[in-house]
Every structure is written in C-alpha cells, then in structure tokens.
Amino acid sequence: MLAIPSKLFESFLKESISKKNWGQFFTPISVVRAINDMAQTDIKEGMKICDPACGVGKFPLEYIKENLHELFKIKNGKVESKIKIIGFDKGFDKDEQKTIILAKANMLIYFCELIRGNPGCTKEFANLLNQSFILKTNSILGTLSEPIENEYDLILTNPPYVTSGSSNLKEEIEKNTILKNYYKINGMGVEGLFTEWIVKALKPNGKAFIVLPDGIFNRQHDKNLRKYILEESITKKSSTVEIQTDPVFTYICSEIGESRDINKFAIEENDLKEAVELFKSFQGNKKGFSKLNTDKRCKVQPIDIFRNGVESHWIIDKLWDDKEKSELRIVDENKSITLFDFSNVLNATSDTILSYEENIKQITNLNNFKSVSKKIGDIFNIERGKSKYKKSYMNKHKGQYPVYSSQTSNEGMIANIDTYDYDGKCLTWTTDGTYVGTVFLRDGTFSITTHCGA
C-alpha cells in the first residue's frame, strides 16, 4: 500500500519543483533502496539514525519502513519510539525551505497506516514529525554549523557536491574558533566538509553509507581527506588485527534502474540489485568471499591498495584493466588500424602542430609587454541560466534551439525549444554535478539551465 502514495508524492514533487533543485531533493529511489539494503543490520533499541542533508527524507524513512509497527508503539495515547531518526537540511529561500516541509509530508505517508489506526494521537505524531526533520536557518552552514561528535549509530546520506558557494562556507567557518578547530582537514567542496562532519558524528563502531562524487577519491587536494577517512574508519572500530586488515568490497555499476536522460524513466537494467546481494554475502564471509565470487563486476580489494593510494587516488574502476572493462562493455574495445591509416593520423597531427607554429613564434618574439590583473567580471558578462527550463516547460515549447545543462554527454544538450536566450560565441560551464567546471565553447543560438553559467 505504501508504494503507491509514495510514488505519487515523488511524481508530484518532480513536476512542481524546478529542475535545478532536483539534486537537492532527489536521490534516485533505486540508489536509496540499494544503500538501505546494504546498511540493514539488526535494528537495536536506542539507535540514532541521521541524514545530515536529508532532502525529502527518503534515506531514514526507507530504512525503517519495514519495521514501523515494531519501532513505534502507541501506549496510553503516547507514541513510544524504540529508535530515533533525524534529518537536517538548511533553508533560506522559498525553494530551500520547502525541503523539510516535504520531508515531514513524506514521513506522513510512510506512517499513514499507523496514524489512521490511532486518530487520537494526531498531536503526538505531529511532534514526532517535527523532532525527526529539522530546518537549519541560523547559519549558511546549515548542518555543518553543529560540531557534533560520537552521536549517531548510522548515517545514510547523499550530501551536496557543488563547488559554488563552498568558499563562503569556509569563510564562515574561519570566523568561529570552535568550527575552525573542528574542520581541520580542509577538503575541497561542500562534500569534503560533509564527509569530515559525518566521520566525526559517528559513534565508535557506527556505520556510514554515503553517496560521493569521484572528486574526493581522485583530487590531489583531497589526499588528506582520504587519509583521514582511512585512519578514522580504523580508529572508530575496535583495534584488532583482523579489522585493520579487512578487505574492501568494490563493484562497478553501469546502470541503476533509470534512464540517464532528463526524463529519468525506469528501466529494467539495474546493476545495483546484484551489487547488494553480493555485498550481503561479502559481509557474512569476508575472508572466503573472493573464492566464491564469479561476477566480473565485483572485486574484493586488499586494504593496502587504499593505504598506498591515499596520495594518488581511490578511483575504483581503475582497478579493472582495459581487457576486463571491454568484456563488461564499460569501454570500447581497442581497435587496430593499418600502417597507412596510422601515417595519415601522424600527418594530420603534424599539420595541426605546424598551424600553431607562426603564432608561437610571434608570442616568443614579444619583448615589450605589460601584464595587468583583471577581474573575470570585468572581461566577461557572467550569467546563470534560467530556472524555468524544467521538463514540463520544455515539453510544451519544443523547437529547434538547444538547451544546455550540467551533463557532459551529448555536448551538454538536454532538449530543443522554440526560443533562445543567447546568440553568438560564448563559453558555458557546468556549476554542479559530477563534472562540475566542465567548459564548452558555444557558437549560435541556445539557452541554459541553472546548472550552467555563461
């Protein structure tokens, strides 16, 4: 019964909320459920479960949904909770402030049968909703303004990972001595701050299941954060030789059960399902799992790979060679070319290099020049895209002019509409998402969403 109203609720949100805020509200439900399935352990009385960037609250609500009637009892007109779920989000403008309201509405749907069976406890349930999802408005830092340590047994979250605005957050932290001492790692982006907060907020032997971008695992600047994650994950467990040498489960997912275009249609292909089942098997037999595993998408890595990779990277798919990736159709198989074709490639490359030779000579011969400092805003007119370009608008205004967003496939184009905002040559760049900062040269008529700058 729960699946239908919950799905309707999500469909309503997707039609009513600007596409620029989808990342704030929506982690694909297939991802949420896969993470929750992996996180499932024996739920113990007194557990505290947190999502520090909760959006509409799916992570903690999905975790407890199968056990609601056991975890929340009505006695003498009071709601008695065996566990505590808590979700935080910040909100200053109207769209942001909707978040916690929507999380509470979502919780209402999950608890609908329990509430229907106890109509005299409306006030009690209202208090439970208000205690479970909390809006942070006292600081632009939101959840990050609370220097929490050793508080939660389980953290499930998909924190924001955008670079725009992260410098403002760090400036705010610098003003507060307590926060300055709390955030010592100086990871990049908002996701770096959230990761440090999550590690600190976990109780000893607590667990965190986090959706993170490749940047944290790849950026040279984040080597200290990787080292911190590794050291703290060992320190927060009981320090035995067995735990310190535990292998690491890795799995490459190509499909997650929904299309990768703007429409996010449900599809049959979903590698997450197999990943979850194998992870559960791994949890029950860490030492013997590798001998039993036959799935080529799955590998168990020795912890030393991550110890030795702190300075360079923790990118998982680099642990599969090209031949293995080709078999999994993750990359195109290398194709050989004839000597004649190779000669043509060399000639074309040579011509390209020679075409720049004259310009290079001119630059080299310049002796009298002055360098000046300019603000980017003095040279370019910098603008953000428009929030009106969401699915419903673009479906009503189909045409010939491209709309660009933060995706990097298909040159960033997500639709064609009947009007345009720009005409000419200019640069656009992605402002959020996995490939934040990717730059494109545009030439012609086009428009951009709020996931782009121009």
Most confident residue range from 2-11, 109-118, 196-205: 196-205
For residue 404, pLDDT beyond 60:
yes
59-64: long-range contacts at Cβ-Cβ below 8 A with a sequence spacing of 24 or more? 59/27, 59/32, 59/35, 59/87, 59/156, 59/157, 59/158, 60/85, 60/86, 60/87, 60/132, 60/156, 61/85, 61/106, 61/107, 61/110, 62/32, 62/33, 62/36, 63/36, 63/39, 63/154, 63/156
- pLDDT at residue 242 in the model: 40
Q: How confident is the model at residue 36 (pLDDT cuts 50, 70, 90)?
A: very high
Task: Give mean pLDDT, residues 68-73.
Answer: 90
Contact present, 251 and 279 (Cβ < 8 Å): yes
Query: Who wins on pLDDT, 2 or 156?
Result: 156
Instruction: Flag whether pLDDT at 349 surpasses 80.
Output: no
Task: Give the residue among 267, 248, 247, 246 at the shortest CA–CA distance from 256.
Answer: 267
Q: How far is CA 400 from the centre of its chain?
A: 32
Which token pair is 240? 């035995």
Most distant pair of Cα atoms in the chain: their distance: 89
Q: Record the pTM.
A: 0.71
Residue 198 neighbours by CB distance under 10 Å: 23
Model confidence band, residue 134 (pLDDT cutoffs 50, 70, 90): very high
- For the stretch 301-337, pLDDT in tens is 999 999 999 999 999 989 999 899 989 988 755 667 7
Instruction: List all residues 6 or more positions away from 428 whose beta carbon is below 8 Å from its beta carbon.
Output: 404, 412, 439, 440, 442, 448, 452, 453, 454
Of the candidates 292, 233, 265, the residue with the CA atom closest to the CA atom of residue 30: 265
- Phi/psi at 266 (nearest 5 deg)? -70, 135
pLDDT at 443: 86
Q: What is the pLDDT of residues 199-242, one digit of tens each?
A: 999 999 899 999 998 889 988 889 999 999 998 887 655 433 34
- Note the pLDDT of residue 259: 80
Query: Tokens representing 289?
Result: 């799992």
Residue pair 421/448 in contact by the 8 Å Cβ criterion: yes
Q: How far apart are CA 142 and CA 138, in angstroms?
A: 7
Distance CA 61, CA 41 (A): 15
**Does 408 score more than 90 pLDDT?**
no
Calculate the alpha carbon distances from 214 to 100, 233, 332 in Å: 28, 19, 21
The tokens describing 429, both together, are 């760049």
Provide the pLDDT confidence category of residue 133 given band limits of 50, 70 and 90: very high
List the structure tokens of 296.
């080529």
Asked whether the predicted pLDDT for residue 342 surpasses 90, the reply is no
Mean pLDDT (whole number) for 4-16 = 58
pLDDT at 415 over 70: yes
Structure confidence at residue 249 (pLDDT): 95
Position 376 confidence tier, pLDDT thresholds 50, 70, 90: confident
Segment holding 216, helix H or strand E:
helix 214-218
Assign 3-state DSSP to the chain and report helix, strand, coil percentages, each to 5.
45, 20, 35
What is the reported pLDDT for 302? 93
Pairing outcome for strands 398-404 and 152-157: unpaired
